[in-house]
Amino acid sequence: MAIDYKKELENAARNMIFVHDPDLLIKMMVRMMVNRAKITHASFFLHDKAKESYALTVSKGHLKSKIPLSLVRIDKDDVLIRFFKSGMSTSLFGREALVLNEAKAELKNPSLKKETKQKLIHVLYQMELLESVACIPSYFRDELLGILLLGRKQNGRKFLDEELDFFIALNSNVSMAVRNAQLFRQLGLELERKHQLFVRTTIALAAAIEAKDHYTHGHTTRVTSLSLEIARGIARKNKRDFDSGFMENLHIASLLHDIGKIGVPEYILNKRDALTVGERNRIKEHPMIGVNILKPIKELEGSMMGIKCHHERFDGKGYPDGLKGEQIPLIASIISVADSFDAMNSDRPYRPALPKEKAVNEIRSLSGRQFCPHIADTFLEICKEGRV
């Protein structure tokens, strides 16, 4: 049955749109050529900028077992690379494909220059080493992105012009798709680098809080760990995971929940005696101070309500807005329980730490008043399981 190469090309182009992995794109192309065009094998050398060479990325068919991918590279100054970079294939054969039998016939051309003949001989020698009867360059603009090597057809016949045209067109589509995929991967790496920088900056900000408030050393880390554990407990109870966005927002909000204390005088934060009404009111300002500090950072929008509302109470007697019950965002309700437990279980300037059991009982007794019952119940369950 004859192959509808136009249809195959259209189908391949549609599939390439959804693939952002360069290696997978090349594997798709090579697999199609081997399976649909019935050739013995196909291999692809992809440009590796870091190592200034062309690495054997994919090999499909009978040659695959003979060639260890990790060991085969072609230097950027190799005769095969220079042949295609110089455009000799097009000038000699009128198309971006080097076919073994055509090239051998060209060697007998009396008008062929001696220098060109020597280059062609070396190129054909390499092709024969790799048992290839056709070699097709893959360009992106003026850059030689890779080289496709094709083995013989399984029926032993020569490649038809329509087959070679199909391989050239498919290789051209792949070169654009591979370049796009490489750019997509680079963008992903850059975003991940920026994300890691963002997380490290957040941790540094959290450390700045603890440097100011001597009695909360380790508090931020413990609250963050406990908040995430409570969230995982809720997910287990509901048999449904939170999405990664919620967990990241919770992570960041937990780390930065007390960032506003940077705006509270140290003598108040570290005071050993009972606070005056005015001093307590200054401390109550820290959620809004934190919001105002972080408001310009657009990436923190999802975490902001956790920072602002972690001192709201389920009975509506909290601050800064006196929110009640379900009005309080889930992210803030989780941090509230974790923050309160760690505060009770830690030494403070005005009192020693409560024993763990007593702190747990306080959370139990304040469920439905200070804390959301659902969150408090989850906290008590993970305590019982030994996760705290």
> Is residue 118 domain-shared with residue 147, that is, in the same domain?
yes
My answer on whether 361 and 221 are in the same domain is yes
Write out the two tokens for 372: 């959301």
Question: 184, 219, 238 — which closes off a domain?
Answer: 184
What digits encode the pLDDT tens for the residues 44-88?
888 888 888 988 888 887 655 555 555 678 888 888 889 888 888
Query: In the beta sheet, which residues pair with residue 136?
Result: 148
Q: Which of 184, 215, 244 is at the close of a domain?
A: 184
- CATH assignment at residue 317: 1.10.3210.10
User: What is the enclosing helix (H) or strand (E) of 200?
Assistant: helix 161-212
Same-domain status, 88 and 144: yes
215 and 151, same structural domain? no
Site of tokens 């407990």? 233
Between residues 356 and 387, the one the model is more confident about: 356
Tell me: pLDDT of 334 over 70. yes
- Long-range CB contact pairs, 194-197, < 8 A, 24+: none
262 burial class (0-12, 13-18, 19+ CB within 10 angstroms)? middle
Say if residues 326 and 312 touch (Cβ distance below 8 Å).
no
What confidence score (pLDDT) does residue 17 get? 65
- Considering the domain architecture, whether residues 135 and 281 belong to the same structural domain is answered as no
> Is residue 85 located within the same domain as residue 169?
yes
Cα–Cα distances in Å, from 220 out to 51, 112, 180, 346, 383?
44, 77, 42, 12, 19
* DSSP string of 41-98, one letter each residue: EEEEEEEETTTTEEEEEEEEETTGGG--GGG-EEETTSHHHHHHHTTHHHHHHSSS-E
State whether 159 and 118 are in the same domain: yes
**Same structural domain, 174 and 319:** no
> Per residue in 273-320, pLDDT tens?
888 999 999 999 999 999 998 998 888 899 999 999 999 999 999 999
- CB neighbourhood size of 372 (10 A): 22
pTM of the model: 0.59
Q: How many CA atoms lie within 13 A of 209 on its CB side?
A: 22
Angstrom distance (rounded) from CA 235 to CA 119? 66
Write out the residue range of the structural domain in which residue 250 sits. 193-384
- Between CA 301 and CA 217 the distance in angstroms is 26
The confidence score (pLDDT) of residue 207 equals: 78
Question: 146 and 254, same structural domain?
Answer: no
**pLDDT tens per residue, range 169-212:** 888 887 888 887 777 778 778 878 877 877 788 878 777 777 77
Q: How many domains does the chain have?
A: 2
Of 156, 184, 212, the domain-final residue: 184
Q: Are residues 13 and 121 in the same domain?
A: yes
Question: Are the C-beta atoms of residues 43 and 67 closer than 8 Å to each other?
Answer: yes
pLDDT class of 234 with cuts at 50, 70, 90: very high
Domain shared by 233 and 289, yes or no = yes
- What is the domain-level CATH number for residue 69? 3.30.450.40
Three-state DSSP class for residue 375: helix
Asked whether residue 171 falls in the same domain as residue 215, the answer is no
The reported pLDDT for the residue numbered 273 is 85
